[in-house]
Amino acid sequence: MATEAREIEFAEIKELYTRFTARKVVFILGSLGALVALSLYATTLGSARLGIGEVSSAVFARIFPFAGIETTSFADVVVWHLRLPRIAMGIVAGAGLAVSGAAMQGIMRNPLVSPFTIGVSSGAALGASLAIVLGFSLVGAEKAVVVTNAFLCALLTAFLVYGLARMRGVTGESLILAGIAVMYFASAATSLLQYLATEEELQAVVFWLFGSLTGATWENVLVVTVILFFCLPFLMRYSWDLNVMASGGDEVATSLGVNAARVRIITLIVATFITAGIICFTGIIGFVCLVAPHITRLLIGADHRFLFPCSCILGAILLVGADTVGRTVFSPVVIPVGIVLSFIGVPFFVFLLMTRRKEYF
Amino acid sequence: MIIEVKRLHFSYGHRPVLEDITLEVEKGEVVTLVGPNGSGKTTLLKCLNKILKPKKGTVLLMGKDVSKMNLKELARLSGYVPQNGVRTFPSTVFDIVLLGRRPYIDWRVSSRDKEIVAGLLRLMGLEEMALRDFNELSGGEKQKVLIARAFAQEPEILLLDEPTSNLDLKHQLEVMNLVSSTAKEKGVAAIISMHDLNLASRFSDKMVFLRERRIYAIGSPEEVLTPDNVRAVYGVEAVVNKDSGRPYIIPLEPLQASKAAAATKTA
Ligand SMILES: Nc1ncnc2c1ncn2[C@@H]1O[C@H](COP(=O)(O)OP(=O)(O)OP(=O)(O)O)[C@@H](O)[C@H]1O
Ligand SMILES: [Mg+2]
């Protein structure tokens, strides 16, 4: 009798876990649907009035050219040239920032770490300021100078921080401390540049520092998409290894067959690369890579197989949503998305932390 | 011979911690490592599965040199329970035990993987908490989860670092029964560090006394669990009673520092 009851329980545990996993998949599909809906809705908003129907047919007419969907050339231009580049940038940038945050937190077993901790943002800011203030008179194609300079300085700073942290053993704490030291230095240099800048340059620097999706083009979107296309599979492949590392530290990882040092350095490089590749176009959009992974963990747990894709989607929703609010609420004034994110993201995050009782550290 | 340790030396930086350790373990044997705090039990276990790299000497598992094995191969061969668990991101008990299947899983979790985990949870009496957050468990419950994870590796060798230190009386016996029956039935070899000499005596085929970086005594509990050894290794006066089969000790008094030194010299 007793054994019979236990047999049922045995099947039940397995069933319970299978359902637990299935719920996560359903949640991910649901949030993907929400992202599509949000993006379409965001495309309808703007100075030229277009309904959701017109927008949808304009969008899908190009995606499925042989389906014979009717659309007007006016709608086509507004949607594909004015609005979608910005929204697409929001999607890829949000996804990339979120996933690199999730990866960094996993390898360091520390929820406070993000690519920004290791100096990517302060490096990019310094690089951009250098280009805007000092490089201004040198090259005609100013935009490309800012982007490449920001990108390279971001990578350099990250490797500097990593190198410093390495001297004491790479832990969350050593990375954060080295990151802070380097960040102060880079900020001081950026401030000095601002001090030396002309009125016009100063405005450009400050605008860059806010982080915004204004000026997104299909070329930018393409570059970021290509980066994600090559980097995401890398991170996904390490899902199990990151699960092992996040749950028990390096020694346990070794005993479960995971080369923690190697996984850590590769993940770090990939995450840095993604983040630098995004913020060199958008400026400093910080909040997403710290918070999107947290929200995801609160909602579906810390299993990286699901955490990665779901963080991507939630990061995209967060960024597109915030940008939409930023460009509509005080229209025609557009508030940079970095600022909006903090205004709506922080209270939402605090709310989640307060109402969900799962503790972190 | 499933485990052969030959003339192993290990040091943290310049501080030697293990010297000239030689040890052989057969299939199905349960070996306990005992010795005072800091005598090198944890370090020795970590040298066996490549967490630490010995300075000198070799470790052979199933006749193969550990330093030449890749980590995944090694993880299928030996399961490990650390002395201290660490905090994790919120993760369910089921997911934690499932990580023991990592050496076998490429991407997809097979039905068999889930069955193994479910079976172990039931065996450990953890079925009620399968989907609870690991961080919310008590110390003993956590320890059982980590033991289940090591079993999920389906290893030939179990390396357990004080697996019973947080368990209550009944669970200590249950876990040790499980280890020794797995050893006897499946031919798994187990090396277990512990502080409870009586538990060690009861369940081990061989006891290893570590003292000051070296093996001080090695043999069956009857041979090595003697008042002299306990005095020399721990600096504690004790009587050893043999009336219930395996010897068990009753500790009496810690020796004074001077006497302890004397005991060490005469030993
Ligand atoms: N990471 C480390 N770096 C330097 N020394 C260490 C390190 N870990 C342990 N030691 C030292 O090595 C010696 C052996 O430590 P070990 O942890 O192996 O002891 P133990 O027998 O497991 O002790 P306990 O019974 O307290 O668990 C101790 O002197 C300890 O201080
Ligand atoms: Mg120890």
Ligand 1 interacting residues, C-beta cut-off 6 A: B 12, 17, 35, 37-43, 83
A16 closest CB neighbour out of B74, B100, B131: B131
CB contacts under 8 A, A 107-126 vs B, are 109, 111
Residue A6 counted as domain residue: no
Residue A195, domain CATH: 1.10.3470.10
Q: Residue A318's domain spans which residues?
A: 32-355
Q: What is the pLDDT of residue A36?
A: 94
- pLDDT mean across residues, chain B: 90
Residue B171 Cα to ligand 2 midpoint, Å, equals 20
Which of A347-361, B2-16, B56-70, B198-212 has the least mean pLDDT? A347-361
B90 closest CB neighbour out of A18, A105, A301: A301
- Best substitution site from B9, B21, B39 to test ligand 1's pocket, by max atoms within 8 Å of Cβ? B39
* Regions of chain A where pLDDT drops below 70: 1-10, 136-143, 352, 355-361
Q: From the CA of B103, how many Å to the nearest CA of chain A? A: 6
- Give B4's pLDDT tier (boundaries 50, 70, 90): very high
Reduce the DSSP state of residue B226 to 3 states and report it: coil
Q: From the CA of A258, how many Å to the nearest CA of chain B? A: 7
Q: Which residue lies with its CA nearest to atom 6 of ligand 1?
A: B12
Q: Which residue lies with its CA nearest to atom 13 of ligand 1?
A: B38
ipTM of the complex: 0.88
Q: From the CA of A74, how many Å to the nearest CA of chain B? A: 47
B145-180, pLDDT tens digit by residue?
A: 999 999 999 999 999 999 999 899 999 998 999 999
Kindly state the average pLDDT of the residues B95-112: 92
Alpha carbons A41 and A37: distance in angstroms, whole number: 6
Is residue A32 packed enough to be buried (19+ CB in 10 Å), middle (13-18) or exposed (0-12)?
middle
Residue A3 counted as domain residue: no
Q: What is the pLDDT of residue A48?
A: 76
Q: From the CA of A204, how many Å to the nearest CA of chain B? A: 40
Q: What is the pLDDT of residue A360?
A: 47
- Ligand nearest B17 Cα, by number? 1
What are the CA-CA distances from residue B219 to residues A24, B206, B223 (Å)? 53, 5, 6
> How many residues are given for chain B?
267
Would the pLDDT of B42 be above 90?
yes
Partners of B121 on chain A (C-beta within 8 Å) are 13
Secondary structure, 3-state, chain A:
CHHHHHHHHHHHHHHHHHHHHHHHHHHHHHHHHHHHHHHHHHHHCCCCCCCHHHHHHHHHHHHCHHHCCCCCHHHHHHHHHHHHHHHHHHHHHHHHHHHHHHHHHHHHCCCCCCCCCCCHHHHHHHHHHHHHHHCCCCCCCHHHHHHHHHHHHHHHHHHHHHHHHHCCCCCHHHHHHHHHHHHHHHHHHHHHHHHHCCHHHHHHHHHHHHCCCCCCCHHHHHHHHHHHHHHHHHHHHCHHHHHHHHHHHHHHHHHCCCCHHHHHHHHHHHHHHHHHHHHHHHCCCCHHHHHHHHHHHHHHCCCHHHHHHHHHHHHHHHHHHHHHHHHHCCCCCCCCHHHHHHHHHHHHHHHHHHHCCCCCC
Partners of A17 on chain B (C-beta within 8 Å) are 94, 114, 117-118, 130-131
B188-218, pLDDT tens digit by residue?
A: 999 999 999 999 999 999 999 999 999 999 9
Q: Which residue lies with its CA nearest to atom 22 of ligand 1?
A: B42
Answer whether A240 touches B (CB < 8 Å).
yes
Q: What is the pLDDT of residue A139?
A: 46
Q: What is the pTM assigned to this prediction?
A: 0.89
* Residue ranges of domains in chain B: 3-90+152-221, 226-267
Would the pLDDT of B258 be above 80?
no
Residue A7 counted as domain residue: no
CB contacts under 8 A, A 122-151 vs B, are none
Instruction: Indicate the CATH number for domain B3-90+152-221.
Output: 3.40.50.300
Q: Which residue lies with its CA nearest to atom 18 of ligand 1?
A: B40
Answer whether A246 touches B (CB < 8 Å).
yes
Residue A24 counted as domain residue: no
A246-275, pLDDT tens digit by residue?
A: 888 889 999 999 999 899 999 999 999 999
- Give B265's pLDDT tier (boundaries 50, 70, 90): low
In ligand 1, which atom is closest to the CA atom of B35?
21
Query: Is residue B58 within 8 Å of B50, Cβ to Cβ?
Result: no
B131 closest CB neighbour out of A20, A111, A361: A20
